[in-house]
């Protein structure tokens, strides 16, 4: 899940927002402004209802951000690097570069999110009570009370023992501690997540058939998301186990075709070496020092009349925005940082010098080879 735009950094963690947040933000504000608020506190103007709904929705997403930030901060304190946090259609997600090293760390990282949401619920509830005692506007009290209830519900929902929810992480930690097998624990937690997802899909469908309301479809959508996420998590765990002990250098393409930083865009696009086999190329300066990554698509965006005067260095993705890795880093640790697409190629560097490049397809081929090798070895042992 890539962010559409960035909000900057909080506590050193990059915060992004996906465009789908606008959808849920509008639906949430619409439901409050034209549904709950007029029903509970009638007699106000539409403008006041909409103003209260928009502010309440902003506080709701701030609560989601606090939930994810808690995960990120505790993860870093337990030696897990955090790539970023992205708010999207169904909430928020903290993307981590690695996993917890032991069950205790997993419990701390997973448990802090629901705890923060529960504390926020209590805090908002206390504020609503104090506002009520102070004879504040009933609409204000209702807005704060809604935030209290939604945060408590968020905490309870995330505590359900089904991956990829926080409760699923807690379940995985418990199974991991009992069996000592993280892969098996992950697979079981993922199975629980799929089962819970199908339960939500069925419940949402029945709710829609009976009531003909949007809530049923929304419940089914959440269920589909949980099924997909739990399935992906189980597969990723199997892949990480398959890649255990394999360094990046064994999957990378060594000595890749590179582009001098001073080459003009026109020369780059017309050179046969850069036109047919690949869609992304490392950009290097003299001595082989990596400077960035250029794709054919980025180069073609340069207007034709400027291609003779502008260089590849002007069109490239700077090294600071490119994922880089050392050749001896475990390939499994690189997986959470990889994404499909030409602009997401990973440059393999050794003392700032380019030694290789790796893509998602390289990892896929390596996994396929290893799984085939393991299967062949297992069949050979059975015949013995």
Active site residues: 68
Question: How many degrees, rounded to 5, is the angle at CA 356 between CA 354 and CA 357?
Answer: 110
Pairing of strands 253-254, 353-358: antiparallel
Torsion of CA 166, 16, 200, 186, to 10 degrees: -40
Q: Sign of torsion, CA 11 343 79 180?
A: positive
Q: Rounded distance, CA 225 to CA 228, Å?
A: 5
Q: Rounded distance, CA 240 to CA 337, Å?
A: 13
Instruction: Map residue 371 onto helix, strand or coil.
Output: helix
Token pair, residue 173, equals: 């930690």
- The answer to whether 310 and 265 have CB atoms below 8 angstroms apart is yes
Q: Rounded distance, CA 112 to CA 116, Å?
A: 6
For 272-322, the three-class secondary structure string (H helix, E strand, C coil) is HHHCCCCCEEEEECCCCEEEEEEEHHHHHCCCHHHCCCCEHHHHCEEHHHC
- The answer to whether 168 and 195 have CB atoms below 8 angstroms apart is no
Q: Rounded distance, CA 85 to CA 10, Å?
A: 10
Q: Rounded distance, CA 55 to CA 195, Å?
A: 36
Report the b/e string of 285-309 with b at 16+ CB within 10 A. Answer: eeeeebbbbbbbebbeebeeeebee
- The answer to whether 147 and 125 have CB atoms below 8 angstroms apart is no
Question: How many degrees, rounded to 5, is the angle at CA 90 between CA 78 and CA 214?
Answer: 155
């Amino acid at each position: 899940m890539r962010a559409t735009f960035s909000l900057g950094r909080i506590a050193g963690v990059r915060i992004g927002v996906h465009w789908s947040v606008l959808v849920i933000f509008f639906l949430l504000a619409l439901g409050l402004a034209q549904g709950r608020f007029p029903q509970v506190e009638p007699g106000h103007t539409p403008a006041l209802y909409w103003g209260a709904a928009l502010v309440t929705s902003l506080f709701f997403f701030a609560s989601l951000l606090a939930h994810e930030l808690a995960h990120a901060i505790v993860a870093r304190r337990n030696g897990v690097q955090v790539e970023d946090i992205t708010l999207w259609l169904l909430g928020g997600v903290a993307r981590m570069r690695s996993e917890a090293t032991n069950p205790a760390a997993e419990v701390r990282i997973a448990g802090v999110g629901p705890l923060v949401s529960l504390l926020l619920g209590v805090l908002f509830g206390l504020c609503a009570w104090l506002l009520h005692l102070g004879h504040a506007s009933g609409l204000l009290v209702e807005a704060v009370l809604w935030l209290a209830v939604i945060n408590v519900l968020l905490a309870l929902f995330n505590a359900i023992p089904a991956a990829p929810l926080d409760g699923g992480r807690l379940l995985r930690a418990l199974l991991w501690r009992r069996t000592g097998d993280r892969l098996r624990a992950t697979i079981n937690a993922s199975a629980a997540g799929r089962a819970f997802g199908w339960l939500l899909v069925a419940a949402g469908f029945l709710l829609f058939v009976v009531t003909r309301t949007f809530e049923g479809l929304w419940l089914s959508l959440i269920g589909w998301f949980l099924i997909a996420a739990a399935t992906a998590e189980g597969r990723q765990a199997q892949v990480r186990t398959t890649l255990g002990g394999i360094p990046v250098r064994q999957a990378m393409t060594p000595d890749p075709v590179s582009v001098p930083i001073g080459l003009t865009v026109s020369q780059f696009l017309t050179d046969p070496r850069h036109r047919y086999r690949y869609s992304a190329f490392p950009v290097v300066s003299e001595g082989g020092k990596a400077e960035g990554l250029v794709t054919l698509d980025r180069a073609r965006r340069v207007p034709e009349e400027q291609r003779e005067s502008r260089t590849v260095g002007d069109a490239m993705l700077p090294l600071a925005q490119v994922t880089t890795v050392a050749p001896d880093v475990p390939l499994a640790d690189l997986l959470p940082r990889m994404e499909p697409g030409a602009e997401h190629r990973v440059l393999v560097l050794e003392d700032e010098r380019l030694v290789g490049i790796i893509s998602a397809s390289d990892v896929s081929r390596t996994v396929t080879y290893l799984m085939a090798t393991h299967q062949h070895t297992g069949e050979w042992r059975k015949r013995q």
